[in-house]
Structure 1
Amino acid sequence: MTEPKEVWHRHLGAYGICLRQEDLLVIRKGGGPYIGRYDLPGGTVEEYETLNDAVIREFVEETGLKVRIERNLGVCDYIVPYALRKKGTSHIHHVAVFYLVQELGGVLAKPDTFDGQDSLGALWVSIRDITEDNASPLVVQAVEWIKKGQLPVESKRLDDWVVISS
């Protein structure tokens, strides 16, 4: 018997790590392979948009907060089993560009509502309360960066990833 062929959908996203002492700003994910988990504010880079502009826009849309980019922290990528029916895929190859951002102002608000919005709202969570069971791999990676000051260079294949419901 031959192995079934994997069909990947590549997703490029830009994400921000925003801290208040030991608390990390996260969103509650309402869709995709990270549904029901904490995720970093950020997401798809729109056509004719820079990575920096995408992070700033996504923060306003998903959290209500205005931020400033402090620096680019690096890129990580994850291969996650997840079927997108309309694309006929078996996996998502999630390429995530991480930025350290500074909160400039605003109030945590309910996210903007529009087609494709998958944030159910934002909250501050202690990094001590973040686990692989309640967070996306991006949030887990952010906590690792907070603790160690570096991102890994290798891709992560998450073959045992479990999609949970909200």
Structure 2
Amino acid sequence: MYVICVQNGKLIVINKNVGRYINRYDLPRVSLEDRESLAVALKREFLVETGFNVEIIKNIGITEFMLATDWRGLTDVHHVAVFYLVKQISGGLIVPEQFEGQDSLGAVWVSEKEISSGKASPLVLKAFEWIKTNGLGLEGNYYSKWKVVKSEKE
């Protein structure tokens, strides 16, 4: 599950620290803990990654991405994502506690002008598409030349 939070035309994103979207902007991601509901997990994870308490507005829908990549020895990754829209109700941007496995170096607000496929995950690109069109489309996106950026200099 991924979270879309928009204010004044800007989207909150995290600076990804690990995984196939490392060194790119990505959407805050939600992972469930034992016996945790989707709503509780979404609010908890968003607070931890961004510093914001949020109200869940709605489930936007499901989308998918296919990446031709060399990530973890794979040649293709099929990524299915469920998007939720939220509204900030309190809090402020933070840098999350850093520990082994922490996937975020902190959150920032970005406009569509500030992102590109070289600087953002497919999730961020799709979020801006949704902001403009209010739809995710039915077809998945295929990125035939996806490159995992192992350092910011690549």
Q: TM-score range by the shorter chain?
A: 0.7 to 0.9
Deviation at 1:123, TM superposition (A): 0.6
Q: Distance in 2 between matches of 1:53 and 1:82?
A: 34
The CA deviation at 1:148 is: 0.7
Q: Which amino acid aligns with 1:44?
A: S
Aligned pairs (5 A) from 1:24-63: 24-63=11-50
Length-normalised TM-score, structure 2: 0.87
CA distance in 2, matches of 1:96, 1:147: 19
Alignment pair present for 1:83 and 2:83: no
User: Equivalents in 1 of 2:31, 2:147: separation in Å?
Assistant: 22
Against the structure 1 CA distance between its residues 36 and 90, is the aligned structure 2 distance closer, same or farther, given a 3 Å change threshold? same
Q: Tell me, what secondary structure is at the counterpart of 2:42?
A: helix
- Superposition deviation, residue 158 in structure 1: 1.9
Asked if 1:160 is matched to 2:145, the reply is yes
What residue identity is the alignment partner of 1:76? T
Q: How many residues align?
A: 150
CA shift, 1:105, in A, is 0.7
Match of 2:91 among 87, 93, 106: 106
**How big is the shift at 1:146?**
0.5
Q: How has the CA–CA distance of structure 1 residues 50 and 64 changed in structure 2, closer, same or farther, with 3 Å as cutoff? A: same
Identity of aligned residues (%): 46
Instruction: Provide the residue aligned with 1:131 in structure 2.
Output: 116
The CA deviation at 1:50 is 3.2
- 1:144 corresponds to which residue? 129
- State TM-score, norm by structure 1: 0.82
Name the residue aligned to 2:101: 116
- Structure 1 vs Structure 2 CA RMSD: 1.7
Equivalents in 2 of 1:94, 1:55: separation in Å? 19
1:82-135 deviation line (CA, Å, top 9, x unaligned):
433xxx644332211101100011111111334421101001112222221211
**Do the aligned partners of residues 50 and 93 (structure 1) sit closer, same or farther apart at CA in structure 2, a change above 3 Å counting?**
farther
* Structure 2 unaligned blocks of 5 or more: none
Q: 1:79 to 1:51 in 2, by over 3 A?
A: farther
- State whether structure 2 residue 16 is matched by structure 1 residue 20: no
Change (3 A) 1:69 1:36: same
Deviations 1:122-165 (A, max 9, x none): 01112222221211000000000001110021222222101112
Cα distance in 2 between the residues matched to 1:54 and 1:61: 10
